[in-house]
Amino acid sequence: MNSIKHVFKLLVIGFFCFFILISIAKADAYFGFSLFKSDYSQPSVISATLADDDPCCTGLGAEITNALGQTFPGTLYVIAAEDGLPRPSRVSDIDEKLDMLKFKLGFELFEAKDSSIPALSVEIRGGFGTNESILVDYSEEIDESYYLDNSVTPPQAYQYVITTPTDSELRTEYYYGFFLRLGGSPKQLKKISFYPDLAIEFSPYILLGHSRVNFSVTDISGTAGGKIRGESWGLGLNVKTPLENMFLNIEYLDLMDKNGIESAGYSAGFEYRF
């Protein structure tokens, strides 16, 4: 819900700035939306679990002296998995699929006089995730168990921290960015004819911009995900449809490649020209 509110505020601000710029530039404006399906990868991720030697729950406690002056060894603290099973590895590589609903507002800064020169546009973009990817055994539930070993003299006390693996969820909380687009104008359509009565008209474009993405995880004590900002680039096509001023939009976007996180994929949607 917070991600939707964040994107909504961004779009309201975007609309406001957008129409101010339109009134000044008197440019051709457009609005679009699409479903973005991406591959998310992040190597050497440390899970949100206790290390086997975490000082919080391992080691030997201080010696105990009772009222009679007898000294007993301190409690021995141990981390162990439930039922004596091995604990999952804390370090792993993440390769997941994340979907996102994207929106964009844009306008052409100027129309190229020469049709061989692509039109230049500026865009503000935003979006939020529409699915969650499961990170298996990424976190754990913790319980405690006390045991006194009377088979030795003096008796030895053990304090076990019992861990049970649990799954966490990774999602794209929100995304926004600012882009320059070269091409994609309906005034510079290219045509491919298949038959006399069958042809496709389209306008290709390239994208270059700066984005900020929040990849959130339900347990934040690990190193998966995070708020990342960096350069983005992409390639796309606007394909003419039978509906006036409506175009089918197909795009590849390299959304993020920074701090070990890579996210890229394809989207399909529609673009409407005002």
- Average pLDDT across each block of 10 residues of the chain; the chain has 274 residues. List them in order: 62 60 62 96 93 81 71 79 84 95 88 72 93 94 85 83 92 94 87 79 93 93 92 95 93 94 96 90
Per-residue model confidence (pLDDT) at position 59: 80
Q: The tokens of 268 are what?
A: 């399909």
> How far is the C-alpha of 2 from the C-alpha of 10, rounded, in Å?
12
Per-residue model confidence (pLDDT) at position 23: 45
CA 160 to chain centroid, in Å, comes to 36
Per-residue model confidence (pLDDT) at position 119: 85
> How far is the C-alpha of 109 from the C-alpha of 125, rounded, in Å?
17
C-beta neighbour count of 233 within 10 angstroms? 16
Amino acid at residue number 158 = Y
Q: Is 218 left (phi over 0), alpha (psi -120 to 50) or beta?
A: alpha
Q: Which CATH architecture has domain 2-46+93-138+168-273?
A: Beta Barrel (2.40)
Per-residue model confidence (pLDDT) at position 148: 82
